[in-house]
Structure formats: C-alpha cells, structure tokens
Amino acid sequence: GNSVTQMEGPVTLSEEAFLTINCTYTATGYPSLFWYVQYPGEGLQLLLKATKADDKGSNKGFEATYRKETTSFHLEKGSVQVSDSAVYFCAFRGNSGYSTLTFGKGTMLLVSP
Amino acid sequence: NAGVTQTPKFQVLKTGQSMTLQCAQDMNHEYMSWYRQDPGMGLRLIHYSVGAGITDQGEVPNGYNVSRSTTEDFPLRLLSAAPSQTSVYFCASSRDGRETQYFGPGTRLLVL
C-alpha cells in the first residue's frame, strides 16, 4: 500500500552544519510531495512541496527535489541554525480526486550552538 | 484571519467519558480533516470532510464520530473515551483536497 519512510531521529547537528533528511515513498501514479515542519508546542506548517517529477521545492533555505526514478524527496539545508530545531514530516498526496495526505513518522532535528 | 482554531488545548478524561474536540476555520475551506499524532507513529488520518454534510473515514476512525453541518466547523466526538485515545489531535483545512493543508495548534488529550 501507500506509505512514506523517513530516516529515524533524532538528528543532532552543530550550527552551520549540512542537513539531509531522507524520505522515500511508495505510491501509485504521480503523487504530490510535501515537507511539513512542527516547532515545539505548535501544529504543522507546510515547509515546501513539489507536484511533479524533477520539481524542486524550496523555502527558508531548505530544498527537496522530486525524484521519480528513486521515489525520493530528501530534505536538505546547507547551513542549519538553532532555530531549525523541530520535527520534520515528509508526506505525499495522490493526484486523483480528494486524495488524503499520508505522513511519515517524522524526524526530530536538534541543532546545538 | 484566525486560520484554524482548536479547543480545548488540553483535556483530561476518565475512561468512558465523552467529549467533543472543536475545530473551526475562517478561510471558507471546503476540505477539513482530523489527525492524531502519537510518538513514533507520525500523523494518522481519523476522519475527513470534503464539504458541509459530507464526511468520510480515514485510516483510524474507530471510536470517533464527526459531522459537518457548516463549512466553518468540524467537531470530533469521542463517545466513550479509552486510554488508547490518549494522543495529540490536529485539525486541518484546505481550499479543496488538492491544496495546501493548514493545521490548527492541536489538542492534547489524556484518558485515564
């Protein structure tokens, strides 16, 4: 069935380090792909998205490229900040009708000064 | 716009009690949904609605009821709470099922 797999956390980095959080999906057709971020005590916020193969979503220095051939949507940032500490969720949504979001389990990122 | 609002922020229930988690949005969104978030499980869809008067089940609907009498409101009802329903509940809305979903701040529920 449809699913999202993301790397387990926590991911612990020092400020200004390079970040990669891996995400792969299993789905039929051509889903839309998303990264959501949840800061402590808050709800989820959309970070970036891509709706077709080879699209690159970007926001706040984060990037992810929709790779159809590897069914992946890895999240990257060149230089993390302490304020990036949060839980990051990869998700996809099918493109037929009112398809619902399927989320990964989330990856906690902890950035130390 | 207030966006998506949820009440209460925190609730403690005893097993067997009933309660309603409130969700409202002021963006005139047609699509609304309820998720529960549990450690190590990510978010799982409980119920969703594509418009007033229309609801459907998600991945984990058992023990929960919903109704959608207005576009703005989408309450989630627990008829007889169980400890397994201890979780953080998030409501979300979008213009339609294909657009970006906006999440509320969540309701933390503890069932003793």
The model's pLDDT over A74-96, given as tens digits with 9 standing for 90+, comes to: 999 999 999 999 999 999 887 66
Residue of B nearest to A40 (CA): B105
- Strand A75-77, strand A62-65: pairing: antiparallel
Does B54 lie at the interface with A, CB-CB under 8 angstroms? no
Coil vs helix vs strand at A84: helix
Nearest to B41 among A32, A45, A105 (CB): A105
- Strand B107-111, strand B10-13: pairing: parallel
- Gap between the Cα atoms of A81 and A103, Å rounded: 25
- Say what percent of chain B tops pLDDT 70: 100
Residues in chain A within 8 Å Cβ distance of B44 = 103
For residue A95, what pLDDT is reported? 67
Return the DSSP state at A42.
S
The model's pLDDT over B11-63, given as tens digits with 9 standing for 90+, comes to: 999 999 999 999 999 999 999 999 999 988 889 999 999 999 999 999 899 99
- Closest-CA residue to A67 (of A50, A84, A45): A50
